[in-house]
Amino acid sequence: MQDSFLSHDVIALTGITARQLQWWDERGVVKPQRQGHRRLYSIENLTEIAVICELRRKGFSLQGVRKVMRYLERELGKGLAEIVGRNSDVHLLTDGKHLYLETSAKQIVDILKNSSQPILGVCLSDAVRQVRAEVVARKASTSVIASAERRRARRVS
């Protein structure tokens, strides 16, 4: 996989707007590396952005997203990208007051059965798989185009 991504790559891969990405950087929601005045995003940053976008699409406020990220780091001692980067499905469930991070279907059903209020569930792993598949597809199409251009250049010279 690609080591770093520029802002326009992140925008193309996640569907986030340029202004939103800039605002998240200014607020410290996502912390990219800097190269001069350019922001460079790692695959971990890209994973976090994809998950944050999914949570935002599901109606989480930015404060709610920050709460989720703090919860994951505090309770599990790992960042968002590391947790959802595993092969198993990771589901985030919330009733608006409590957060649950589950990988077991049985635990998810138990939470749903025992809840006295509606539960919102988000499969965090799906968002990660989708953006990583986009990265792989983009890399493959870029390498196909580059190799075709190299063949053309060899024929010309």
pTM: 0.72
> Helix axis angle, 43-57 relative to 18-27, nearest 10°?
110
Please report which helix (H) or strand (E) contains residue 74, including its range: helix 62-76
Model confidence at 147: pLDDT above 70:
no
Using pLDDT thresholds of 50, 70 and 90, give the confidence band for residue 155: low
| Rounded CA separation 154/26 (Å) | 46
Residue 40: the pLDDT is 93
